[in-house]
Amino acid sequence: METVSKPIAAARVLAVRPVGTTAVLAELSGLHDVLALQSLLLERPLPGQVDVLAAAETVMVKADSPAAARRMAARLLEMDLTVQSHAEGKLVQIETVYDGDDLAEVGRLTGLGTDGVIAAHTGQVWTVAFGGFAPGFSYMVGENQVLEVPRRSSPRTSVPAGSVALAGNYSAVYPRKSPGGWQLIGRTAAHMWDLSREQPALAAPGDRVQFSAVRELIEVAEPLVAAVDAAALAAQEPDVQSGLLILSPGLQSLIQDLGRPGHAGLGVSSAGALDRSSLRRANRIVGNDPSAAVVESVAGGLRVQAVGDQVLAVAGAPSALTVVTPSDVPDPDAPEDEGDQSEQVREVPMATAFALLDGEILTIGAPERGFRSYLAIRGGAAVDAVLGSRSTDTMSGIGPAPLAAGQLLGAGAATSSNVVGNPELQPDFPDTGVTVLDIVPGPREDWFDAAALESLCAQEWAVTPRSNRVGMRLDGQPLSRSRDGELPSEGTMAGALQIPPEGQPVLFLADHPITGGYPVIGVVVDHQLDLAAQVPIGGSIRFRWAPGYRLPTGFSHSSHDISQTK
């Protein structure tokens, strides 16, 4: 896809850059035009439009197909962004203890010292420009730029909830524990995101925020009525008559479906199964709807016991599937006078429907290849939907909690057929060797010279244990940027290869932050994200330019043809 540009004009899109094969990034002259374009796209969606995400100087538009994404460039460049000004939002007061790990460093970078940073942060009103990164994470713009500081050279893998932070010209509050690269100056007890509120975000775009310094935080108790309702619900036993008892969740087992697209403006990622084809396969085999909720399990070890007779299928990473019939469970085919029976063990095949009778126990062994398994129960996993999906989003905390031993997971009614499907062949899955993934240039490949672009595809990148559903952290020969400075936060997507200043790529997966401030050098083609999700810890990845995107020495993809995207 090509970076399409036109002469700068008032209230118009300046340029459109491709983001992988199914999204485009519109560049604008400022926040006013960003909000104008977002408003127009939400009011009159483009053909094939799936989601819209405003950021500092850009608007990312996700499409339902590569063809729709290609058509969007010309349409965006033609749009007139003249709109009426927005009404001023409410004023939100946030009490803050200023004792952050980076407070002294921010004082040094700004020349203000610790006390000066606190005075500058509390002495101005901040306006929420846009949401992103995570639900409730609001990018706030101040009245001046005295607190402008760069992000950390290497992001933290865990930032505590309530952390008050600075990056670039923005301030924000981390709504929950999550990775992050902003400079931490304090902490607050304010609940930035609460799904029980009519407006989940405490501070929405257009609202104003005033920070005030306090010596200690007072946690505000929930209203009495909420406590009473919670106690009443807790006292009720779940009316689950049929399903699976979780004996062991293994390393990690989560409920996943095909995700919750369309909520990027709230800072909510799509989430959903990392290997979408395996989820669909498992659901097809048991006769479920394609989007029925299943159990996504990592590295084997999941053990479940049937409560009532169940029909199951396991797809994904090839693993030994063992079914045990305990001695106290009668065999319906045995003669009535046979008496006590010893424990029975049988193996069942992958990608094939099988019965798990009441009391029988299924164990998923360690994968022979691949990394993630998908267990489908006929009818789907019966859990409550949040924002239209039953997926667990590990970044935001939205959706069901990870499965735990002793939990009873009910079977739902999300079937599409009265019969189960035939056994299916599965594709090859990666092992601890090298997996090749096709990429297309990212929207910020021009932040890297030809040597860095060549190095990206010339080496093998090890998948480190720091990887998770948010992203795969890779290790290899670091990539150097050819441009200094900070990139304003902008929308990103699954498959993006983001390069922090340290030079080690992060390959975003389904639970990735909605926006990011590190340049994206390339994007894994959408149809290979399932393969990427199955690369195990300790495996290696080699990237190669997808057909039509070969990089000759000294060539910049700023001129590559938008029509080449498949």
| Partner residues linked to 490 by β-bridges | 516
| Burial 86-102, CB ≥16 within 10 A → b, else e | eeeeeebebebbbebeb
Structure confidence by residue, pLDDT tens digits, 468-501: 999 999 999 999 998 877 788 888 999 999 999 8
pLDDT for the residue numbered 219: 60
Residue 56 is predicted with a pLDDT of: 78
CA atoms within 13 A on the CB side of 468: 17
Q: What is the largest CA-CA distance in the chain?
A: 89
Q: What is the SS3 assignment for 386?
A: strand
Nearest to 162 by CA among 147, 195, 184: 184
Task: Please give the span between the terminal C-alpha atoms of the chain, in angstroms, as a whole number.
Answer: 9
Per-residue tokens: 541: 């990845």
Dist CA 524 CA 503 (whole Å): 18
CA 121 to chain centre: 30
Residue the block writes with tokens 């990148």: 461
Tell me the C-alpha distance between 3 and 5, whole Å: 6
Look at residue 534 in the predicted model and tell me its pLDDT. Answer: 97
Compute the C-alpha angle 45/51/57, nearest 5°: 95
pLDDT tens track of the chain, all 566 residues? 555 555 544 578 999 999 998 999 999 988 778 878 888 898 899 999 999 888 878 999 999 999 999 999 889 998 988 754 555 679 999 999 999 999 999 999 999 999 999 999 999 999 888 887 778 888 898 999 999 999 888 888 899 999 999 998 899 999 988 888 899 999 999 999 888 887 888 988 778 999 999 998 766 544 333 333 333 333 333 455 799 999 999 999 999 999 998 888 777 889 999 999 999 999 999 999 999 999 999 999 999 999 999 999 999 999 999 999 987 665 555 555 554 557 899 999 999 999 999 999 999 999 999 999 999 999 999 999 988 899 999 987 889 999 999 999 999 998 888 889 899 999 999 988 899 999 999 999 999 999 999 999 999 999 999 999 999 999 999 999 988 777 888 889 999 999 998 999 999 999 998 888 889 999 999 999 999 999 999 999 999 999 876 544 433 333 333 333 33
For residue 353, what pLDDT is reported?
Answer: 96
Angle at 504 between CA 24 and CA 366, to 5 degrees: 95
DSSP 8-state class, residue 253: E
Cα 201 from Cα 185, distance rounded (Å): 22
Are β-strands 434-441 and 540-545 bridged in parallel, bridged antiparallel, or unpaired? parallel
Listing DSSP states for 265-294 in one string gives GGT------SSHHHHHHHHHHHTB-TT--E
Question: Which amino acid is residue 222, in one-letter code?
Answer: E
Model confidence over 381-411: pLDDT tens digits? 999 998 889 999 998 788 999 999 999 999 9
pLDDT at 227: 33
Would you give the DSSP letter of residue 73?
A: H
How far, in Å, CA of 9 to CA of 28, rounded? Answer: 10
Q: Which amino acid, one-letter code, is at 118?
A: I
Strands 163-167 and 156-159: unpaired
The domains found in the chain, sorted by start residue, are: 4-78 (3.30.1360.40), 91-213 (2.40.100.10), 243-410 (no CATH), 434-564 (2.40.100.10)
321 burial class (0-12, 13-18, 19+ CB within 10 angstroms)?
buried
Strand 208-213 relative to strand 91-96: parallel, antiparallel, unpaired?
Answer: parallel
Q: Partners of 296 in the beta sheet? A: 254, 374
H or E element, residue 103:
helix 103-110
Q: Is 308 exposed, middle or buried (0-12, 13-18, 19+ CB in 10 A)?
A: middle
Nearest-angstrom CA–CA distance, 401 and 392: 7
Question: Residue 198's pLDDT is what?
Answer: 77
Q: What are the residue ranges of helices labelled H in 22-129?
A: 31-43, 66-78, 103-110, 113-122
Distance CA 430, CA 325 (A): 33
Please tell me the predicted confidence (pLDDT) of residue 401.
94
Q: What is the pLDDT of residues 96-134, one digit of tens each?
A: 999 999 999 999 999 999 999 999 999 999 988 888 777
The pair of structure tokens assigned to 257 is 């479906």
